[in-house]
Amino acid sequence: MAIEFNRILTLLRKERGITQKQAAQDLGISQAQLSHYEKGIRECSLAFVVQVADYYGVSCDYLLGRSAERSGQTIRVEDLPETGSATSGSVYRGSVLPTMYKKLIENSLDILYDKLQESGDKQLVTAISRYLMLAVYKVFRQMHDASPRNVTGMFRVGAARWQASADAAMRLTEADLAATLKGEDGNRDSVDPATLALTTERLTHDYPRHATSLLNLVKNAEESMRGMQWPD
């Protein structure tokens, strides 16, 4: 939790656009002390956690990394906006877990594509969409190949080549995406930074119903990357 506090403490200050000196003055401590807190050199008191939460208008749970929501809200499936469903109902048989993850991903994609539409950049839309389609393809292909009853005739790329080919295509698409964002193709400018304004405060303001999904998706993804177990 200490690592999360350090990171979020720094994030909130930078999102507000204030210097470390200004934040320290407002909080009634020295800049050196705040620097130590942000770097994790020193641990702060519980009273200071509460003070910081009030200062930035967030919950203590958010500051400590216990919640992806600035308000500290605990995510529930019924709180997430409904999405379309490939089946007759929105809740899958036997467990609400698939429903929750489906909502997290679809609501996050709504935000992503809204930002893409705002950018008006066809190359950016193409690169991101191609990457996402490849990711879905890989998961579907793995599920398909897991059952001997499924025939391979629906695919044009053979069993010996598809995984390496998909990985290579995803890496190339990642490179295209990075080049597009930085304007490295020589014929265009980089994407307007204003379009990519994605602070937690901005997301919560612009997407009050969907930001919860995206912020929890980010939290779950990073827990997975750090070798943590996904929540039950």
CATH 3.90.180.10 corresponds to the domain 2-63: no
Average pLDDT of the residues of the chain: 83
Residues of the chain with CATH 1.10.260.40: 2-63
Is a pLDDT exceeding 70 seen at residue 113? yes
Separation of first and last alpha carbons in the chain: 19
Residue written as token pair 């993804």: 221
Per-residue pLDDT at 85:
45
Flag whether the pTM goes above 0.85: no
Q: Distances from the Cα of 197 to the Cαs of 36, 112, 194, 202, 204, in angstroms? A: 28, 12, 5, 7, 12
Round to whole Å and give the CA distance between 190 and 182.
5
Q: Between the CA atoms of 222, 92, 144 and 162, what dihedral angle is there, to the nearest 10 degrees?
A: -30
Residue range 174-194: average pLDDT? 74
Band (pLDDT 50/70/90 cuts) for residue 77 is low
At residue 187, the pLDDT reads 52
Closest to 109 measured CA to CA, from 125, 91, 93 = 125
> How confident is residue 162, by pLDDT bands cut at 50, 70 and 90?
very high
Task: Please give the Cα distance from 24 to 35 (Å, whole number).
Answer: 9
Closest-CA residue to 201 (of 12, 10, 18): 12
Helix/strand/coil for 88: coil
Question: pLDDT of 129-142, one tens digit each?
Answer: 999 999 999 999 99
pLDDT band at 3 (very low <50, low <70, confident <90, very high): low
